[in-house]
Amino acid sequence: MQLIKRATLLPLVLSFFFAPIALGLNEAPSKTSDLLFQSYQPSSAAAKTQAKVIYYREKNGKEKEPAANVYVDGHFHTTLMPGSYTVFCISPGQHVLGAYEHDAPLYVGKSKESHHMLLEAGKTYFVKNPVDASGVPVEIKRAEAELSLKKLNKQQRFVSRAPIQSCITQ
């Protein structure tokens, strides 16, 4: 009889301790969600030894828009959901950028050299994901890009495999 009482007591005690986590009442998820949904803040200048790229994707009004995998030099960087952006720094020089929807299982972005860009040291580039799903990014002037970026959230859910660098602050 005592064994039965212990068996019923254990789940009750465990549910008491884990209920706040299950209900989202602990602090960690809110901090994580704050990281996942950071609004755009105007970007500082790129370091003199790096090029900075702000790659963004607007919502185009479709109810269910697929994710777009962003590739840098044939390596996966992140997945942009509609209404999101990513920021990365990279060594100056010639680079291949692209973003592809529905590219699994072939992962077109790893092999297709969609768009070569010469990225100069000390410059910031604003690049928009194309609406036509061609994968070819569109370079946008800063003023126009920042108007769009104000409505977007920073995408920080993936570990980049691209040859990017931590941005140096000046």
Sheet holding 51-57, edge to edge: 138-140, 124-128, 51-57, 84-90, 153-154
Residue 107: is its pLDDT beyond 50?
yes
pTM value?
Answer: 0.73
Q: Transcribe 95-122 into DSSP letters.
A: EEEEEEES-TTT-HHHH---EEEEEPTT
Q: In percent, how much of the chain has pLDDT > 70?
A: 74
Segment 108-165, tens digit of pLDDT: 677 776 688 999 999 999 999 887 767 788 899 999 999 989 988 887 777 777 788 8
